[in-house]
Amino acid sequence: MTDSIMSKAATMEIPINSNGDTGTLPEDDSLEQAAQLQWSLDEKVGSSRGTRDLQQVMVSGPNLNETSIVSGGYGGTAEGIIPTSSIKGPAVHYNAEFNKRIPVTGLGSNMHHSSSSSSMAADDATRGVAVEKLETMKKWGLNTYKCTKQMISERFGRGSRTVDLELEAQIEVLRDTKKKYENVLRLARALTNHFYNMVQTQHALGDTFADLSQKSPELRDEFGYNAETQKLLCKNGETLLGAVNFFVSSINTLVNKTMEDTLMTIKMYENARLEFDAYRSDLEELSLGPRDAVAMARIDAAQEQYQVQKDKYEHLRSDVIIKLKFLEENKVKVMHKQLLLFHNAISAYFAGNQQQLEQTLKQFNIKLRPPGADKPSWLEEQ
């Protein structure tokens, strides 16, 4: 009897009405009773077996895409069959362990989530850079305001400044010395240019005398003597130019590199002194104000900034003292050598002592460039 009931229940159809809901037909009451009887028998078998069978059906049951819903009654035609594959909706998976349906999200949602996460990370990075730049500009503006206020106060005699009399006197001496050495350098360059033009004139004059000695037989000897003299003067002049050029090059290095480097450190020291006095004045003004919680927090922050500026000021001050000392030693050594070279070369030239002039160049390891070395070769001109 159970087998006949099950065979009949297995072949029954699910009637639906025009709205898609299951309907109740009078001729199917017996089938309904048979299904209820079968359900009571399954309950007696045991809950554990029923659960296991249900899990097996949920995992390995028929594919929903291959099932269909029949709209006719029992034994009707297949005209109302609707394949479930045509019904579109969100796909689901059945979890046999928890007996739940889990919606399946597509790749599009995952890609959208990853792209939104990356865009959020990029926005956070950009926002962080903007905040950092804003903080930097804020600190720079506050520091500039304090330094400008301190500078104006010092200029009008209203503010106090830190003074190191001995160091400032040495700085003034260096600036005055640099101006005088720049004047020496300017005059030495002018002497070099004028003497170079004279040597070129002597060279051209010697060539002219030599040419006239060949074309004027009656004055050959006179033109020849003068041509030899001008060539000798031209040669000695080129030797002297080598010594003067070395002198100019050494003075230029001393003035525009060594002294300039020390003056750049002095400029940094003066800026640090101005910042130190600005934060010192700010701390003094805050100390004279009220002593509530907000004021004490501002005083502590000003104290930290004051200590930072003080350390920077003292560090640059020590650097300036060391550089001034080394500059003075280097200046004495360089100028002693260069002044001796300049004196010996000028004296030997105007005394007509060619041997002494060449010896002076050897003494100071000066190598003369061959004539025409300054001009580019024909290959370089191409």
Quick one: pLDDT band at residue 124, thresholds 50, 70, 90? confident
Quick one: pLDDT band at residue 371, thresholds 50, 70, 90? low
pLDDT at residue 382, as a whole number: 41
Quick one: pLDDT band at residue 11, thresholds 50, 70, 90? very low
Handedness of CA 218, 222, 225, 227 (dihedral sign): negative
Statement: residue 343 has pLDDT above 90: yes
pLDDT at residue 316, as a whole number: 95
Closest CA to 36 of 9, 14, 13: 9
Describe the crossing of helices 293-350 and 220-253 by its angle, rounded to 10 degrees. Answer: 160
303-328 pLDDT tens trace: 998 899 999 999 999 999 999 999 99
Closest CA to 368 of 260, 239, 245, 256: 239
Cα–Cα distance between 314 and 213 in angstroms, integer? 75
Quick one: pLDDT band at residue 240, thresholds 50, 70, 90? very high
pLDDT at residue 36, as a whole number: 57
DSSP string, 226-243: HHHHHHHHHHHHHHHHHH
Statement: residue 377 has pLDDT above 70: no
pLDDT at residue 168, as a whole number: 93
Which residue would you say has higher pLDDT here, 87 or 39? Answer: 39
What is the average pLDDT value for the chain, to the nearest integer? 75
Statement: residue 38 has pLDDT above 70: no
Cα–Cα distance between 70 and 23 in angstroms, integer? 12
Q: What is the mean pLDDT of residues 53-75?
A: 43
Name the one residue in this structure whose structure tokens are 């072949």.
11
pLDDT at residue 129, as a whole number: 82
pLDDT at residue 166, as a whole number: 93
196-217 pLDDT tens trace: 999 999 999 999 999 998 888 8
H-type alpha helices, 156-292: 165-215, 220-253, 260-287
